[in-house]
Amino acid sequence: MKARIEPVVDVDAFIRTWHRLYSQADEPPFYLSPAWVIAWIKGRPRGSKVFQLIIEEAGEPILMTAFGQSNNRYSTLFGSNPAHCMEYGLPAHDAIYIEFNDFLTHRQHHGGQLKRIAARALLTNQTVADRLVFRNARQSFCNSIIAIAEENGRHHEVINSLPTFQSNLLHARDSGKTLLDGLRASVRSAIKRSIRLYRQRGELRLVIEDGSQDYRQSFDLIKDLHAKTWANRGSAGVYSNPLFLSFHNRLFAEAPEVLSLCTVFAGDQLIGGLHNFVHNDRVLSYQSGFQYEPDNRLKPGLVSHALAAQHYMDAGYAVYDFLAGEARYKRELGMEGETLSTVVIERNGARARIRNKIKQVRAVLPGYAKTHQT
């Protein structure tokens, strides 16, 4: 068993190997699926590098991951040369926002020992980067990376941790309840009142379209509603990023079956849109847009998610996943699950020590963001 780190020169060969290992992996997350990874690597920015870490046994892959490394080094004298796990380190490209980041491992080799071997290979390799960034990593992944960093005396920092939230559809279905039955009385009452108010405008309809249909009309409706929602918050929203859209065009072309778009109408009025993915028995609530109104009795977000989750529960899915990030509606509709953390490991040296001193000074300056996503 030996780890090797090498540039990805032949993208097709990388994809074939990833496919082979994924087929033998034990329930990896959607963000490690061939659909997501192919769409990601085929969008590699010009001038950037991608290298892979692969461990093989008897000629077969048992662990893989990949890192993007941009040529846009920090302009300061003490800047770093970072590599980002399953990302490029370029905000416009990384806006697709990976979650549940992890090593892809064979089902017979998914324990912590193999991950430690892989982490040790990364941290002792002298040609990769002087700074490794693992965004939104799963806890076992973080533990392996940090353990090897400490073993090698490397500086490491957890710069962000986010809770995830899920609604257990399987539990609700097995107990003979509807989704609303399992919610707190106050939340259930607010949703039911909102539904009654919306029905005064006409039929309340949930429309589901997937990649087997002409989904573009629904996609455009969700995209426009998302833009309107975020414009009211002073932001353009992620769909304004052409690289974000290009990624999803590749993803839909590669694997249309992962797409599930929900639009919700009260009469003829669009009140909510959900850009979801389906993966095995899970539904991932990825992006959304809602028609907010001055009447705060109207809850377009809660109603849209509740109707969609009930549909997926009836269709046999086990989990409705709200993904990472703190939000009131997630706590109202789901339960807190796994925590994802962003971990940075740095190679020892004078430049790293000076960078860390500069960060300590900046952290106490007025207006400096003390926590941030990398």
CATH architecture for the domain at 2-154+347-363: 3-Layer(aba) Sandwich (3.40)
The per-residue pLDDT for range 113-140, each reduced to its tens digit, is 899 999 999 888 866 688 999 999 999 9
Q: What is the mean pLDDT of residues 87-98?
A: 95
Q: What is the mean pLDDT of residues 210-232?
A: 88
The alpha carbons of the chain give a radius of gyration, in whole angstroms, of 22
The per-residue pLDDT for range 6-21, each reduced to its tens digit, is 999 999 999 999 999 9
The per-residue pLDDT for range 143-198, each reduced to its tens digit, is 999 999 999 889 999 999 999 999 999 999 999 989 999 999 999 999 999 999 99
What class is the 165-337 domain? alpha beta
Inter-CA distances, 239 with 141, 221, 259, 370, 371, Å = 30, 12, 16, 27, 25
Same fold? 2-154+347-363, 165-337: yes
User: DSSP labels for 159-210?
Assistant: EEEEEEEEEEHHHHHHTT--TGGGS-HHHHHHHHHHHHHHHTTS-EEEEEEE
Where in the chain are the domains? 2-154+347-363, 165-337
pLDDT of 331 > 60? The answer is: yes
Pairwise pLDDT comparison (349 vs 126), residue with the higher score: 126
Cα 345–Cα 98–Cα 165 angle in degrees, nearest 5:
105
Q: Residue 325: which pLDDT band, with cuts at 50, 70 and 90?
A: very high
Q: How far apart are CA 105 and CA 22, in angstroms?
A: 8
Q: Residue 360: which pLDDT band, with cuts at 50, 70 and 90?
A: very low
- The pTM assigned to this predicted structure is 0.89
Q: What is the mean pLDDT of the chain?
A: 89
